[in-house]
A and B are shown apart, each in its own frame.
Chain A
Amino acid sequence: MDMNGEHRIAASRETVWTALNDEDVLRACIPGCEELNKTSETGFHAIVVQKIGPVKARFEGEVELTNIKAPESYTIQGEGKGGVAGFAKGGADVTLAEEAGETLLAYTVHATVGGKLAQLGSRLIDSTARKLAGKFFDNFQAHLNPEPAAETA
């Protein structure tokens, strides 16, 4: 599964960068996140519950940040095991650009799934991933700006 996208966030690049490295922010913003704890300067342990098509699973895994160029970019790499549901693994290159006091966040994702997730959910991975990414950025935006502007349809 390959996906890329851009989101404009109404906050400074430093604010966004800090939030993207803050385990409390991430735990609050990642859809279905049950646990997220820093295990090192650049590592996290996470448990995320997700439903993809007919497969609902609790993924437990490690996430590692590499290629860190604060506050411009990093690569986030991770793998989660979901028991009989299979596994998901992949990474995303994330860049932050300053634009008129706001931040343009761009990402490219490459991910693969295996086991039951591939057998039952492969056609739904793309749309699910897009939906989850959208939800994450909505949450993220809301977290940074507790009183956001009225949403456009």
Chain B
Amino acid sequence: MISQILSLAFLAQTIRITVPYALASIGGVYSERGGVTNIALEGIILTGAFCTVVGTYYTGSPLVGILCGVSGGLLTALIHAVVSINIKADQIISGIAINLFAVGITKFVLEILFHSSSNSSRIVGLPHIPMGFIEHQPDVAHLLGNPMVLATIAIIIASQFIIFRTRFGLRLRAVGENPEAADTVGIKVNLYRYYGVMISGVLAGLSGAWLAFDQHSFTDGMSAGRGYIALAAMIVGKWNPLGAAAACLLFGFAESLQIQLQGGGLPTQFIQMIPYIATIIVLAGFIGKAVAPAADGVPYEKEK
């Protein structure tokens, strides 16, 4: 069994599961660092996946599909931004509403376009960059040569720098920690909050695109709670891109372990608990106190 775990196929499986978590989770980091709680990630992933499928299906081009997915995610995030930042409504409620709405609208349009209430027609997958040295293992080669895997790695690393080393990141963090202070040095608080939420929309939309290509179709409710797991990973990772990505990798690992162990004699209910038990242990045992940005979830008002 150990050899199974250490196999390349297992690694590939782990990465396949981790990528969508990581993209959404880092999206969450941008949004919450700027002070907007974003549980709408779940709905954004779903919309992103749906738009990707539609775009790819009608044009035959995965690239156009990704663009559609990202735009769908961005638009959904913009709804959350308007409701949270301008209307100053409760951000949790806005998120829940968007998540419920996303389930409904995707299903509705699915019916219209594909005449099915459960899944779309099949779409093409992403082309992959040839990886000569492991072409004898096509599953693995396809995954490691997948441009979205490479893009995800680049996004994780770049985000760490953007958040902590650039002017944009500094301002974003300031706006999420103490918006009054940011305002008094002339930073446009709501503008930066918009940027944060919009980036989260793009990244969660990409996360949805990944799911779409991975399954070659859209199925009803296919985000399946990934947005929430991504949020949990963001917290475990203490709102740091690298930390969040590491937490996602841990979840990905636990989940592929679960898949690997199924049928191995242990009761399935127990095996299915593995990823969640791992979360609790990590949260309770190793991470220490995670402190959210001080103004996370609090709309900014000038004249109280």
Q: Do A and B come from one complex?
A: no
State the B residues within 8 Å of A (CB): none
List residues of chain A with CB under 8 Å of any chain B CB: none
